[in-house]
Amino acid sequence: MVQHEQHPNTHQAIALRSRPEPMVIEETREAPQRYAPRRYTIQSANSPLCADILEEPMEKLKFPLYKYDGSTDPEVHCNTFEQHMMLYTDSDAMCCKVFPSTLLGVASGWYKGLPKGSVYNYRQLEAEFMLRFISRQQRKKTSGELMAVTQKSGESLRDYLTRFNNESTSILNLQQEIAVVALMRGMNHCEFKKYLGRKSFTDLGSALVKAHEYIKSDELMTISNHYQSAPTRYVAPRLAQPALQNQNRGFRKDDQRRDLRGRDHRKQSTSTYPTFHEYTPLNAPRAAIYNVNKNENWKRPPPMSDKPRPQSKYCAFHDDCGHYTEDCRDLKDNI
């Protein structure tokens, strides 16, 4: 058999053909990344989470910043955690993975002590968490406890309603009709209690809205009782100066009488009621008292005589400009 001797250049050509091209080399380098699985399995040797939860890929979300160390109410922590997770995901597996990151101290040690692979969903994890720290759970108040909230002797309607409302807001699942009955039962006898008895309110909010319409009347009634019990100092008006008949000042008697008569007339026209030098302190502004009782039988003041008068200051009692209602001396004397 005749063997053909290959030319030296033939081996060189075969070597060149067998050498991979640069594009082939680049594709070979990218092959591991291109064909790598998109979902990685994260396993922990002693994780309480089951394999199905661990295999779920993590989602992009903001981790909670608050932590639980076992010293507060566990239900409050779970509610806060669920509100936060609801903003980013509805995945049960994500809740199971993120929840341990919110635990510190004793709570973190409890989670690590759970059996391997024993947690299959978030509700199971939450139930075991609540059971472990149930001693830290606050006692829930009932609607019937509002029956013990009563208006104290001398307590204003405003203070009583504020205290009652604070107690009602601390009750979960408040029964509205029971709350309205408790509000009436604890209230002292007043016009608003009569009003509640005539109406049929089914929720506490509507009753409290109506109550604020009566608060002003209750406070003004307190002011009125205070005036009736507090003595007032009465200063009699000054009498007219006696006629200067015995003094020779160059006036004739007729002119002197006319002068005194004119002075008395002016005094009577401007002083229709006594003037007080001291006033009992009030717990409400005088302008507010007048606005509420403006239809009462007030002694109308004389017109303002000062000129010029500042137009920026308005007096509701005089219905004119010149001074503020709160500074009106005629209104002070009326009250």
Read out DSSP for 79-118?
HHHHHHHHTT---HHHHHHHGGGGB-HHHHHHHHTSPTT-
Q: For 295-330, write each residue's pLDDT tens digit.
A: 777 788 888 877 777 777 888 878 888 888 888 888
pLDDT of 54 > 70? The answer is yes
Nearest to 56 by CA among 8, 91, 20: 91
3-state secondary structure of 37: coil
Query: Exposed e or buried b for every residue in 33-59, given b needs 16+ CB within 10 A?
Result: eeeeeeeeeeeeeebbbbeebbebeee
Q: For 155-203, write each residue's pLDDT tens digit.
A: 888 888 889 989 888 888 888 889 889 998 888 887 788 888 888 888 8
Residue 126 φ then ψ, to 5°: -65, -40
Nearest to 193 by CA among 160, 146, 169, 144: 160
Q: Is 49 left (phi over 0), alpha (psi -120 to 50) or beta?
A: beta
Give residue 86's Cα distance to chain centre.
Answer: 25
Higher pLDDT among residues 227 and 140, named by residue? 140
Instruction: Give the count of alpha carbons within 13 A of 50, CB side only.
Output: 10
Percent of the chain with pLDDT over 90: 22
Burial class of residue 154 (count of CB atoms within 10 Å of its CB; 0-12, 13-18, 19+): exposed
**Per-residue model confidence (pLDDT) at position 333:** 82
CA dist., res. 85 & res. 82, Å (int): 5
Q: How many Cβ atoms sit within 10 Å of the Cβ of residue 4?
A: 5
pLDDT of 4 > 60? The answer is no
**Per-residue model confidence (pLDDT) at position 285:** 80
pLDDT of 239 > 50? The answer is no
3-state secondary structure of 213: helix
Q: For 267-304, write each residue's pLDDT tens digit.
A: 444 444 556 677 777 767 887 787 777 777 778 888 88
3-state secondary structure of 233: coil
Tokens 């609540």 belong to: 130
> Which one-letter DSSP state was computed for residue 49?
B
Which is it for the CA torsion 189, 190, 192, 195, positive or negative? positive
